[in-house]
Amino acid sequence: MEAATAGAKRISKGSAWLRLLRPKQWSKNLLVFAALLFTGNLHDPQGLTLAGLAFLAMCLASSGVYIGNDVADADRDRAHPRKRGRPIAAGLVSPVAALVASSALIVASLCIAETLNRLSLATVVGYLLMQVLYNFWLKRTAVADVFCIAVGFVLRAVLGAAALGVSISGWLLFCTGSLALMLGFAKRRQEFLAQGSEALSRESLASYSKEALDSLVLVFSATSILCYGIYCLESPTAKRYPGLVLTALFVAYGISRYLWLVFAQNEGEEPETLLFKDLHLLASVVLFIFAAAAAVSGWQLSVIGG
């Protein structure tokens, strides 16, 4: 009986540490592969290795930041009906051990980024500095809180390009930032609708209104589609691969489906969970990737290619 209890505790501890790393959030870091996809280097072993290292560096950095946040917010999380189950708030992992792990992850991330090149290292450092600004100041300020999150997404895309040593279109960066802003404001909208429970953990919610959040979600959803459409028509990559314009269909559909989920179903609080819960969203992402890969591999419609 004692052996079984000890085994259960070890499993519980292992599960707690895994949850502390927030592996579900690593899906956000797949943005580092955008440069690899749009430059047509998906079959290049060296490119895959460099992008993989960039992905690993960002996963380690983001997990280190999440752990540090959980330590800082432990008291507040205990008062939250959903977040009180987080490992540190629930007492499954000690704050000291968590801080040691957070520091180790961040150092490992910086070491990996440094092996890529100086720009990659600077990008990861910029991401970490932005997280410091967010957690100690800007997360309490309406609009600025979501813009900080959006900058984090843009830096993920920049890191992928930096690791490969290629340039990235400004229109693609605008689209990435707009998508992140749409998702961020949709998440704040859902939190705002939850009212009391979420207000305990987000000070910025008191400065928002439903009408303002609705407008911001719509503005940045439209901006995302517009920026990506321009990228597919006017960027150097689009000029080289005209078939890329067909990927805009999946972007427009995915955003439209997401807006339906946000406004008709009151979803949107956890975009990374919603992606795998809604088959339409998942299909639009998968088909977008296949269409983009096909386009940069040289396929194109004769009508488009001329």
pLDDT digits (tens, 9 = 90+) for 150-168: 999 999 999 999 999 998 8
41 vs 190: CA distance, rounded Å: 38
pTM of the model: 0.86
Provide the residue type at 252 as one letter: A
Residues 6 or more apart whose Cβ sits within 8 Å of residue 289: 37
pLDDT class for 179, splitting at 50, 70, 90?
very high
pLDDT in tens, 116-146: 999 999 999 999 999 999 988 898 899 999 9
231 vs 172: CA distance, rounded Å: 6
Residues 6 or more apart whose Cβ sits within 8 Å of residue 196: none
74-85: burial string, b at 16+ Cβ within 10 Å, e else: beebeebeebee
User: Minimum mean pLDDT among 32-41, 189-198, 204-213, 278-287: which range?
Assistant: 189-198
pLDDT in tens, 25-68: 898 899 999 999 888 777 889 999 999 999 999 999 999 999 99
pLDDT at 305 over 80: no
pLDDT at 220 over 90: yes
